[in-house]
C-alpha cells in the first residue's frame, strides 16, 4: 500500500501544504514546476504529489471519502490533438476521512493488462455502489482502437477490481459518470468529442469517417443510458441529452465557451438535477439544471474558470454537510498530460445558482 499524508486546508484564499509525505512505490514527480518570477497563486494545492492524478470522481462510501482518478504517467507517446499522449496504464484509488486529513493511496486497483478486451489508453473512470458490490467504470480503446466503456467489480471500495470479459453492450466514447437517483435507479452519463470519438457516433452507430461539426452546426451532445440492476448493462439504448439556452435553443459548435466537450457529471441539489461538463478547448467547467435526469437542461453559467493546463474534469459531492468541487490542473509538472487533483469548497446562492470559482490568479 502507498500512503500519502498531508494536511489540505480548504479556504477562500490560497491553500498551503504542511505535514509530510509517506513512502511511495512510484515517484513519478514530487516537485513544483514553478519558475522564478512566476506570481501564480493557486486556490488549492494538489491532494497528492507522489503520483500524477487527474479526472477525479469523488464518492462517499461508509462515511469515508474515496476518489477515483486517472493516473497520469509519462509514457513517451507523442502529443497530438486526439490525446494519444494521455496513455494511462492503471487506476489508483485515493481515500481520506476528512478534507484536510491524511490521504491514502491504495495502490493499483486495476491495470490495463487485466482487462481482456482492452487495446490501449485507459481514460477517466467513475465508481458506484449497489448489490453489496463496488463498481469501477472505465473507458478504454478496444482491439479495433474504438473507445468502449467497461466495468470491474470489488467487494471493497479501494479494490482491487476485476474487469468483466467484455465492455458494456451499447457503450461507446469516454468519461462515464454514474448517478444514483433518489429512487435507487442508476444512470450513466458519457461522451467526449475529438479524441473521445463521440463525433463518430450518430444514432448509436459508429462511422469512422465522421468528423467534427462546423461552426454553424448544432454542437454534439452528451449521452445518457439507464443501468440495469446488475450495474453491468444498459436497459435502453443511449439517448441524447439536450443542453439549451434560456430560450430553449441548442448551442452551436461555435458556442465553444458553453457547448459540451467532455467530462459529464450529475448531482442533485434542493430537488433539481445539475448536469455539468467541460467545454474542452475553451477550458470552462459549465453547468445546467433540469427537472429530470434525462433533461432537457437549461444552461446556467460557468462553474469553474480555466485552470493551468489544457483539460479539466471534475466531480461535485456533498460530504458531512458541505459541498465540494474536485478538479485538476498542472501545477506540479506544467505539462498537459501530467496533472494533479485538487479540491475546493462549492457554494450555492439562495436561488440555487452556483457561485463561480476562480482557482488561480496572478499576484
Catalytic residues: 55, 262
- Report d(CA 313, CA 192) in Å as an integer: 11
193: DSSP letter: S
Read off the C-alpha cell for 48.
497528492
Distances (CA, A) of 139 to 24, 74, 174, 330: 27, 19, 5, 22
Dihedral sign, Cα of residue 82, residue 49, residue 308, residue 323: positive
Are the CB atoms for 359 and 327 separated by under 8 Å? yes
Closest CA to 318 of 58, 10, 95, 47: 58
Question: b or e along 184-194 (b: 16 or more beta carbons within 10 Å of the residue's beta carbon)?
Answer: eebbbbbbbbb
Cβ-in-10-Å burial (0-12, 13-18, 19+) of 252 comes to: middle
71: CB partners within 8 A, 6+ apart: 51, 52, 53, 88, 89, 90, 91, 92
Strand partners, 100: none
Closest CA to 166 of 151, 153, 188: 151
Distances (CA, A) of 95 to 119, 121, 326: 29, 24, 13
Read off the C-alpha cell for 196.
473521445
Question: What share of residues in the chain are helix, strand, coil (percent, to 5)?
Answer: 5, 45, 55
Amino acid at each position: 500500500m502507498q500512503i500519502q499524508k498531508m494536511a489540505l486546508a480548504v479556504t477562500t484564499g490560497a491553500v498551503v501544504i504542511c505535514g509530510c509525505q509517506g513512502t511511495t512505490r512510484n515517484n513519478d514527480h514530487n516537485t513544483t514546476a514553478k519558475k522564478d518570477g512566476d506570481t501564480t497563486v493557486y486556490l488549492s494545492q494538489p491532494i497528492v504529489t507522489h503520483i500524477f492524478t487527474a479526472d477525479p470522481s469523488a464518492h462517499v462510501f461508509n462515511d469515508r471519502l474515496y476518489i477515483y482518478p486517472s493516473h497520469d504517467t509519462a509514457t513517451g507517446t507523442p502529443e497530438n490533438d486526439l490525446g494519444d499522449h494521455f496513455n494511462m496504464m492503471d487506476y489508483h484509488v485515493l481515500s481520506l476521512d476528512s478534507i484536510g486529513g491524511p490521504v491514502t493511496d491504495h495502490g493499483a486497483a486495476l491495470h490495463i493488462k487485466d482487462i481482456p478486451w482492452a487495446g490501449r489508453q485507459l481514460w477517466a473512470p467513475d465508481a458506484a455502489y449497489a448489490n453489496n458490490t463496488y463498481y469501477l467504470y472505465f473507458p478504454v480503446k478496444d482491439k479495433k482502437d474504438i473507445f468502449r466503456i467497461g466495468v470491474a467489480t470489488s467487494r471493497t471500495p479501494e479494490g482491487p477490481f476485476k474487469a468483466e470479459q467484455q465492455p458494456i453492450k451499447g457503450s461507446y466514447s469516454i468519461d462515464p459518470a454514474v448517478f444514483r437517483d433518489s429512487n435507487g435507479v442508476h444512470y450513466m452519463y458519457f461522451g467526449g468529442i475529438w479524441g473521445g470519438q463521440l463525433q463518430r457516433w450518430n444514432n448509436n452507430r459508429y462511422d469512422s469517417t465522421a468528423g467534427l461539426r462546423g461552426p454553424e452546426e448544432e454542437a454534439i451532445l452528451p449521452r445518457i443510458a439507464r443501468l440495469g440492476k446488475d450495474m453491468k448493462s444498459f436497459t435502453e439504448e443511449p439517448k441524447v441529452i439536450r443542453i439549451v439556452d434560456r430560450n430553449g435553443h441548442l448551442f452551436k459548435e461555435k458556442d465553444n465557451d458553453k457547448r459540451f466537450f467532455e467530462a459529464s457529471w450529475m448531482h442533485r441539489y434542493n430537488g433539481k438535477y445539475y448536469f455539468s461538463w467541460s467545454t474542452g478547448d475553451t477550458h470552462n467547467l459549465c453547468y445546467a439544471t433540469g427537472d429530470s435526469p434525462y433533461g432537457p437542461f437549461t444552461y446556467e453559467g460557468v462553474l469553474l474558470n480555466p485552470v493551468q493546463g489544457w483539460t479539466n474534469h471534475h466531480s461535485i459531492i456533498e460530504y458531512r454537510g458541505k459541498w465540494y468541487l474536485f478538479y485538476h490542473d498542472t501545477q506540479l509538472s506544467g505539462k498537459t498530460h501530467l496533472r494533479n487533483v485538487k479540491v475546493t469548497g462549492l457554494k450555492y446562492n439562495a436561488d440555487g445558482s452556483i457561485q463561480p470559482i476562480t482557482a488561480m490568479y496572478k499576484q
